[in-house]
Amino acid sequence: MGQARMIVDAAHQEAEKRGLTMAFAVAIPSGEPILLEVMDGTQMGSIPLAASKAKTAARYRRPTKAFSEDFAGKAAMSYTSVPESCRWRAASRYC
């Protein structure tokens, strides 16, 4: 938990420096969240997205940006997290 706190603190400081408001989430390898922090003024849609991105990154052991790069040109929709049902199987080798 200490390492998760340090990661979120560093991300929070960087967001403040850039004038951004964000939600931050950290998950354990199973994808279960262990830390969620939301800055004042963050749009509500960012909260579940941050948790979903953390879950996806943890379960697949890769940053969610890798999914966007891998799916580029393969689907009409880009991903920042893998949906629970993996309804778009044609574009994904991860389901």
Supply the pLDDT for residue 79. Answer: 52
- Alpha-carbon dihedral angle through residues 81, 69, 78, 39, given to the nearest 10 degrees: 50
Q: What angle is formed at CA 44 by the lines to CA 28 and CA 91, rounded to 5 degrees? A: 60
Task: Write down the H helix ranges in 1-95.
Answer: 2-18, 46-60, 64-71
Proportion of the chain above pLDDT 70, given as a percent: 74
Of 31-40, 46-55, 58-67, 78-87, the one with minimum mean pLDDT is 78-87
Give the chain's domains with CATH numbers. 2-91 (3.30.450.150)
Greatest mean pLDDT among 29-33, 69-73, 89-93 lies in: 29-33
- Output the average pLDDT for the chain: 82
